[in-house]
C-alpha cells in the first residue's frame, strides 16, 4: 500500500502518568497503530506508556497528533517528547503492544521506587556545559562528578560520552544491583546520568536517589537522542544504539569500537550466527567472509554441530560471552582512569 512505501521515520517516546485501565489503553494503541500501518513495540503499564514505532512520515505525524490529543497524556506529553530518526515500518518485524508492570524493565516495583522521585532534568545545552566542565576538571584530576551511562554494555561499546563510567551490564534490570554493589563509588558525588531517550534515567535516577549517598543527581532530558540533535559533533562519540533492525544510528563519523576478531575499527552489529544465541557481535566484512560470524568460539563450534541435533532448544544462550561476564561488575574505585581523550 502507498502509505508504507515512502521513506518514513521511527519515533521514540514515553510518558509517565497514571493509567487507570492499561488493558484498554493497550487495545486502543494496537488499533491506532494498525490503522496507521505502524510497526514497533509499545509497553503499557499503570505507570504510563513507552513506545517506539515506525512508519511513513504521514503516519508518524498523525500518530503524534492523536497522542497529543488523548486526554490521558494531554497535559504531560508534548511534541518535544517524540524523538525521531530516519527509518520506517521496515525497521521492526511486526507490531507488539502489551501490558507490563513497568514501562521500562528495571525489575523494581514502581510503587517502591517511583518515577516521581527523579533527578534534576538538564536540557541538552545544560548537559553539554556540565560535561564540558567535568572533562576539564577531570583532566586536572579533581572531579567530584561521575558521568554515568545507564545503558547496557553493548550499547555503550559503540557510542558513549567521553570520560563516562559505562557499567558492564547486560540488561537494565541489573542496574539496581550495580548501584548497590558500587555504592562507595557514588558517595558524595554529583552524578550526571544519561541513556538513549531519557526513560531509563527516570527510574534509574530515582533508584540512585533512594540510596541517599549522592550529593546531586542530574539526568539528560530527552537522552542522547535529543543531545545529538543539538550537538551532532559534541561530547558523545560514536553511534547511538537503537532497539530495532537498524541497530544503530549515526551522527558523527567516529568509530570507537573494534572487530571482535581482527581488532580493526568496526561498529556495525550483527546477530551471532549460532542458531539460538541472541548475542550481538562486531565482526568486520573481511572476518565475516572468512566465516567468523559467531559471538565467540563456543558458538562458532556449536553452529557446526547444531544441524545434527533434533530440537536444539537446550542450546539457548550457553556461550562464552554469557558465562564469562559477571552479572554485576564491581568497580575498583582507584583504577578508574578517565579516558577523556578521543
Question: Grid coordinates 581523550 are at which residue?
Answer: 341
Q: What is the pLDDT of residues 288-303, one digit of tens each?
A: 999 999 998 888 887 7
∠ Cα 120 114 108 (to 5°): 120
CB 167 within 8 A of CB 178: yes
> Roughly how many angstroms between the first and final C-alpha of the chain, as a whole number?
46
Cα distances (angstroms) measured from residue 268 to each of 112, 113, 174: 38, 36, 25
175 — pLDDT class (breaks 50, 70, 90):
very high
Whether the per-residue pLDDT at 225 is higher than 90: the answer is yes
316 — pLDDT class (breaks 50, 70, 90):
low
Phi, psi (rounded to 5 degrees) for 275: -50, -45
DSSP code of residue 314: G
- Alpha helices, H only, 93-248: 124-139, 153-156, 175-181, 183-186, 199-210, 223-230
Nearest-angstrom CA–CA distance, 336 and 127: 22
DSSP code of residue 315: G
Phi, psi (rounded to 5 degrees) for 282: -100, 100
Nearest-angstrom CA–CA distance, 27 and 35: 12
pTM here is 0.88
Enumerate the active-site residues. Answer: 195
Q: What is the pLDDT of residues 249-280, one digit of tens each?
A: 998 889 999 999 999 999 999 999 988 888 99
Of 260, 280, 259, 255, whose CA–CA distance to 270 is shortest?
A: 280
What pLDDT score was predicted for residue 337?
47
330 — pLDDT class (breaks 50, 70, 90):
confident
What pLDDT score was predicted for residue 74?
87
Domains and CATH numbers, the chain: 8-99 (3.30.70.100), 120-250 (3.40.250.10), 259-305+317-324 (no CATH)
Can you spell out the DSSP letters for 69-81? HSTTTTTT--GGG
Nearest-angstrom CA–CA distance, 84 and 190: 30
Q: What is the pLDDT of residues 40-54, one digit of tens each?
A: 999 999 999 999 999
Amino acid at each position: 500500500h502507498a502509505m508504507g512505501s515512502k521513506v518514513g521515520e521511527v519515533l521514540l517516546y514515553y510518558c509517565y502518568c497514571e493509567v487507570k485501565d492499561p488493558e484498554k489503553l493497550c487495545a486502543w494503541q494496537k488499533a491506532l497503530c494498525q490503522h496507521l500501518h505502524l510497526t514497533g513495540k509499545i509497553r503499557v503499564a499503570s505507570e504510563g506508556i513507552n513506545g517506539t514505532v515506525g512508519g511513513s512520515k504521514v503516519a508518524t505525524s498523525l500518530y503524534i497528533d492523536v497522542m497529543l490529543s488523548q486526554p490521558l497524556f494531554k497535559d504531560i506529553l508534548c511534541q518535544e517528547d517524540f524523538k525521531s530518526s530516519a527509518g520506517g515500518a521496515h525497521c521492526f518485524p511486526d507490531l507488539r503492544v502489551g501490558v507490563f508492570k513497568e514501562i521500562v524493565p528495571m525489575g523494581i516495583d514502581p510503587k517502591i521506587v517511583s518515577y516521581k522521585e527523579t533527578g534534576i532534568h538538564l536540557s541538552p545545552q545544560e548537559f553539554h556545559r556540565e560535561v564540558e566542565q567535568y572533562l576539564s576538571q577531570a583532566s586536572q584530576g579533581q572531579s567530584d562528578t561521575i558521568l554515568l551511562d545507564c545503558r547496557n554494555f553493548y550499547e555503550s561499546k559503540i557510542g558513549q560520552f567521553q570520560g563516562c563510567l559505562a557499567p558492564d551490564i547486560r540488561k537494565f534490570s541489573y542496574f539496581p544491583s550495580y548501584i548497590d554493589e558500587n555504592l562507595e563509588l557514588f558517595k558524595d558525588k554529583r552524578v550526571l546520568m544519561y541513556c538513549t531517550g531519557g526513560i531509563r534515567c527516570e527510574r534509574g535516577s530515582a533508584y540512585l536517589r533512594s540510596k541517599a549517598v549522592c550529593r546531586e543527581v542530574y539526568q539528560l532530558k530527552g537522552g542522547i537522542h535529543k543531545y545529538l540533535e543539538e550537538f551532532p559533533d559534541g561530547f558523545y562519540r560514536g553511534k547511538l544504539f537503537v532497539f530495532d533492525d537498524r541497530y544503530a544510528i549515526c551522527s558523527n563519523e567516529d568509530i570507537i569500537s573494534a572487530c571482535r576478531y581482527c581488532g580493526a575499527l568496526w561498529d556495525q552489529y550483527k546477530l551471532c550466527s549460532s542458531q539460538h544465541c541472541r548475542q550481538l557481535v562486531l565482526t568486520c566484512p573481511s572476518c565475516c567472509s572468512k566465516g567468523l560470524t559467531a559471538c565467540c568460539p563456543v558458538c562458532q563450534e556449536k553452529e557446526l554441530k547444531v544441524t545434527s541435533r533434533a530440537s536444539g532448544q537446550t542450546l539457548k544462550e550457553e556461550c562464552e560471552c554469557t558465562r564469562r561476564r559477571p552479572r554485576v561488575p564491581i568497580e575498583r574505585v582507584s583504577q578508574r582512569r578517565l579516558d577523556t581523550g578521543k
